Amino acid sequence: MCYAKHMNRKRLTREDSKDQTKQRLLDAAQKLVAKKGLDATSVEDIAAAAGYTRGAFYSNFDSKHDLFIDLLRRDHEKVGTQFNALLRDDIPIEEIRVRTRVLYSTYCSTSDNFMSWTEARMLGSRDAKFRTKLNALLVEKRDQIAQFIEYFYRRAGSPPPVAPPLMALGFMSLIEGVKLFELSSPADMTTQAAQSILALFMDSVINAPPP
């Protein structure tokens, strides 16, 4: 019976094993960066927290900054998957409204996730090379949200009040500002209050008249 169970266990391919190592390194880096910042986090810290050696780190990333960009991209792609799931004509417009409201009111609800983006903003303001990579990712993020806004208003049968890219920047700025306020002044801005503010903003934008 033990032999049968062993045979049924899926053996990881070399590619799967490499990806698993990479994801563990990213997970470890996210927690460490949130706790003490990127500058104070060494390659050795990340490797040790993930249960690997320095060699394993450099087998997956060229530098700490490259890992950081991959960490941000992973989060960006995860949110993108959630948005793309709403770009379907078979979903009623009211359901899209509700799901969008929930998505945005809880966006960046994980502090580790948000701290990564905040750290990236700070690093980008000081490091021109990193800023170029970060800005390319932020443009993708803006365009992704703008695409959703454009789709939503087309489904709603009304034009957006301003250009979708500008609305997307507004979304991004508000979310970052509210979350930063929540983390730095939790007595004034509770998690519940932050989500209520974001939901209120979303309601004002997506309450376009139905077709």
Instruction: Express as a percent the part of the chain with pLDDT over 70.
Output: 89
Q: Look at 36-45, 129-138, 166-175, 199-208 and tell me which has the smallest mean pLDDT.
A: 199-208
Q: Give me the pLDDT at residue 210, please.
A: 45
Statement: the pTM of the whole predicted model exceeds 0.85:
no
Q: Give me the pLDDT at residue 23, please.
A: 95
Letter string b/e over residues 95-111, b meaning 16 or more CB atoms within 10 A of that residue's CB:
ebbeebbebbbebbeee
The enclosing H or E element of 172 equals: helix 164-184
Looking up tokens 């509770």 gives: 190
Residue 119: count other Cβ atoms within 10 Å of its Cβ: 19
**Residues contacting 18, CB < 8 A, separation 6+:** 59, 60
Using one digit for the tens of pLDDT, what is the confidence trace for 142-185? 999 899 999 999 998 888 888 999 989 988 888 888 888 888 88
More confident position, 169 or 1: 169
- Are the C-beta atoms of residues 108 and 177 closer than 8 Å to each other? no
The helices-and-strands tally (H runs, E runs) of the chain is 10, 0
Cα Rg, the chain, nearest whole Å:
20
Residue 211 pLDDT greater than 50, yes or no: no
Question: 45, exposed or middle or buried, with CB in 10 Å at 0-12, 13-18, 19+?
Answer: middle
Q: Which domains does the chain have, with CATH numbers?
A: 12-61 (1.10.10.60), 64-211 (1.10.357.10)
Q: Look at 12-16, 139-143, 162-166 and tell me which has the smallest mean pLDDT.
A: 12-16
